[in-house]
Amino acid sequence: MKDLDWGNLSFGYMKTDYNVRCYYRDGKWGEIEVCSDEFLKLHMAATCLHYGQEAFEGLKAYRCPDGKVRIFRVKDNAERLQSTCEGIVMPKVPTELFEEMVKKVVRLNQEYIPTYESGATLYIRPLLIGTSAQVGVHPSKEYLFMIFVTPVGPYFKGGFVCNKYAIVRDYDRAAPLGTGRYKVGGNYAASLRAHMYAAGKGYGSEFYLDAKEKKYVDECGAANFFGIKNGTYITPKSTSILPSITNKSLMQIAEDLGLKVERRPVPEEELPTFEEAGACGTAAVISPISELDDLDTGKKYVFGDKPGPWSTKLYNTLRGIQYGTVEDKHGWTTVVIE
């Protein structure tokens, strides 16, 4: 293991030893290549640079107390990337190739997987880009699929602590029938100004309402939203939010813990009725929400400074499954290193 200050890592990039790459040429995927170069050599007219043919994924590897290394729901990430590929006309990366490359890159960089005690993890970032030169707006003929890893600490400072979010009405992340449900870089470009605006006012992140009517809850920056009331876990159904794998898992865990689960449009007026609220995602895990401030109307929705009892149970169960300390009833984890 590398001698790093695992407990003080931020959610940032750190160089590791290897990345893995696979090229799509002449209508088929090639062999997996192992590479130690952090840089890419790209044609200046590549479609990823001009027309946004770029998709990514995010998952983590966990060093567990039983000494094994596990990854979480890798098939779901492969399938979401395939859905993104359909969305922006790129060739699908087969699930087996995706999974093999994830395992390979984790094993090759195992010295960078943080210790269990540190609470840090190895973030895995698959990236798919169109590489052939086009000047007209057309999909690329050639693609590069690659994966790098980097050790990360919590996305929000402090980890499982409450954060304040700002409802922004002057920015949309994605249109109702746009690319919000796909994991493409353009959505994140569209979120940067809103993020800087909210962060500049001291908020953990920006919070989006639906782009069309500004009536319904969409997403919390780079995470999904959930609220809990009357023994029910409620999360928005919307065509413009990313289908979060963490949220999908929490819906199942909520049901396993005896909560009812509802996935439906959530009007802003419902916010004051929630007993607990949180943001969830691979990076955020669960990040409980202390307060949601609507910066334009001045309304404030307050949920409290301490994580609520259901959010805590959900968090502990999810983390327990990821770290192999709670039974993995649904077969979500894959052991990558025994």
Where does this chain bind ligand COI (CB under 6 A)? 58, 222, 281-284
**Minimum distance between the CB of residue 45 and ligand COI, rounded to whole angstroms?**
27
Is 55 or 132 the residue whose CB approaches ligand COI more closely? Answer: 55
84 in contact with ligand PLP (CB under 6 A)? no
127 in contact with ligand PLP (CB under 6 A)? no
**Minimum distance between the CB of residue 87 and ligand COI, rounded to whole angstroms?**
17
- Give the one entry of ligand COI, ligand PLP, none that residue 242 binds, where binding means its C-beta sits below a cut-off of 5 to 8 angstroms depending on kind: ligand PLP
Other CB atoms within a 10 A radius of the CB of residue 258 amount to 8
- Give the one entry of ligand PLP, ligand COI, none that residue 234 binds, where binding means its C-beta sits below a cut-off of 5 to 8 angstroms depending on kind: none
Span interacting with ligand PLP, options 34-42, 114-122, 215-223, 261-269, rule CB under 6 A: 215-223
Is 146 or 284 the residue whose CB approaches ligand COI more closely? Answer: 284
DSSP state, residue 216: B
CA 318 to chain centroid: 15
CB 301 within 8 A of CB 292: yes
Which runs of consecutive H residues, i.e. helices, occur in 214-283?
Answer: 245-256
Give the chain's count of helices (H) and strands (E): 6, 18
DSSP string, 271-338: GGG-SEEEEEETTTEEEEEEEEEETTT--EEE--SS--HHHHHHHHHHHHHHTTSS--TT--EEEEE-
**Minimum distance between the CB of residue 298 and ligand PLP, rounded to whole angstroms?**
26
**Minimum distance between the CB of residue 56 and ligand PLP, rounded to whole angstroms?**
9
The residue with tokens 């007219």 is 45
Span interacting with ligand PLP, options 64-72, 192-200, 222-230, 315-323, rule CB under 6 A: 222-230
